[in-house]
């Protein structure tokens, strides 16, 4: 077909940020997939709980300390995370470098405390269905933290190379920060499930 030029797109930016970036939407879609997965895992917990005559099965409720500590660390990490996102939006490379190093540390610390969370469950995954589902919930969320931590570490390394100072990278940092918010947000219902539903 013959073409008739009706629009000039030459003035558009070479990369969009936020809702103008396909990566942002892709991150959102993956969050929807994982969010659905977590919701279903919690549904499995509730289903098994509704089937059981006593809950937790043949054990006590988990110790609150390590899990609550992880929760507090995760919540506290939101402050630098939101700041980092803002600095990335302002394309301030110096501050972004500091922020992403802090976030790399704040991704590591909850993993260290998490090591103590598993024994605090006071049940093994192969003891009974209660053990299976709490280990799975905790395991899934641990994988979630590890995935985002690796992502953050790679991005941190990238920000110290010549590729760092580019709107595309700042967009990546913002998307990564959004994902960390999601990692924290998904933990809250899981925390309530594992530590407080078992106390009802």
Between 80 and 169, name the residue whose CB sits nearer to other proteins: 169
What is the C-alpha separation between 194 and 61, in angstroms, rounded?
Answer: 8
- Smallest separation (angstroms) from other proteins to the CB of 104: 15
Between 65 and 90, name the residue whose CB sits nearer to other proteins: 90
- Smallest separation (angstroms) from other proteins to the CB of 15: 3
Half-sphere exposure of 78 (CA within 13 A, CB side): 12
Between 9 and 200, name the residue whose CB sits nearer to other proteins: 9
**E strand residue ranges, 127-187:** none
Residues engaged in binding other proteins (CB under 8 A): 1-16, 19-22, 25-26, 29-30, 32-34, 36-37, 40-41, 44, 47-48, 51-52, 57, 125-133, 135-136, 150, 154, 158, 163, 166-168, 171
- Smallest separation (angstroms) from other proteins to the CB of 76: 27
- Smallest separation (angstroms) from other proteins to the CB of 58: 9
**Count of beta carbons in the 10 Å neighbourhood of residue 10:** 5
What is the C-alpha separation between 103 and 108, in angstroms, rounded?
Answer: 9
Closest CA to 69 of 120, 132, 144: 120
Between 117 and 172, name the residue whose CB sits nearer to other proteins: 172
User: Locate tokens 């920000």: which residue?
Assistant: 159
- Smallest separation (angstroms) from other proteins to the CB of 145: 14
- Smallest separation (angstroms) from other proteins to the CB of 126: 4
CA dihedral (176, 178, 184, 187) positive or negative: negative
**R_g of the chain computed on alpha carbons:** 21
Copy the structure tokens of residue 142. 């641990």
Between 83 and 158, name the residue whose CB sits nearer to other proteins: 158
Between 71 and 186, name the residue whose CB sits nearer to other proteins: 186
Q: Cβ(38)–Cβ(190) under 8 Å?
A: yes
């Amino acid at each position: 077909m013959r073409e008739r030029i009706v629009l000039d797109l030459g003035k558009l930016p070479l990369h969009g940020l936020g809702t103008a970036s396909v990566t942002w939407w892709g991150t959102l879609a993956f969050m929807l997939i994982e969010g659905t997965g977590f919701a279903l895992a919690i549904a499995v917990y509730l289903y098994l709980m509704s089937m059981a005559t006593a809950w937790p099965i043949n054990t006590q409720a988990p110790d609150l300390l390590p899990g609550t500590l992880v929760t507090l660390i995760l919540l506290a990490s939101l402050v630098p995370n939101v700041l980092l996102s803002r600095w990335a939006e302002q394309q301030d490379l110096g501050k972004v470098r500091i922020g992403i190093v802090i976030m790399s540390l704040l991704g590591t610390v909850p993993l260290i405390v998490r090591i103590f969370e598993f024994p605090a469950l006071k049940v093994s995954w192969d003891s009974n269905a209660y053990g299976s589902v709490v280990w799975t919930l905790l395991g899934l969320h641990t994988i979630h933290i590890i995935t985002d931590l690796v992502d953050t570490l790679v991005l941190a390394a990238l920000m110290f190379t010549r590729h760092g100072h580019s709107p595309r990278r700042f967009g990546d940092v913002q998307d990564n920060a959004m994902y960390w918010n999601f990692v924290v947000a998904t933990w809250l219902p899981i925390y309530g499930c594992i530590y407080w539903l078992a106390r009802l």
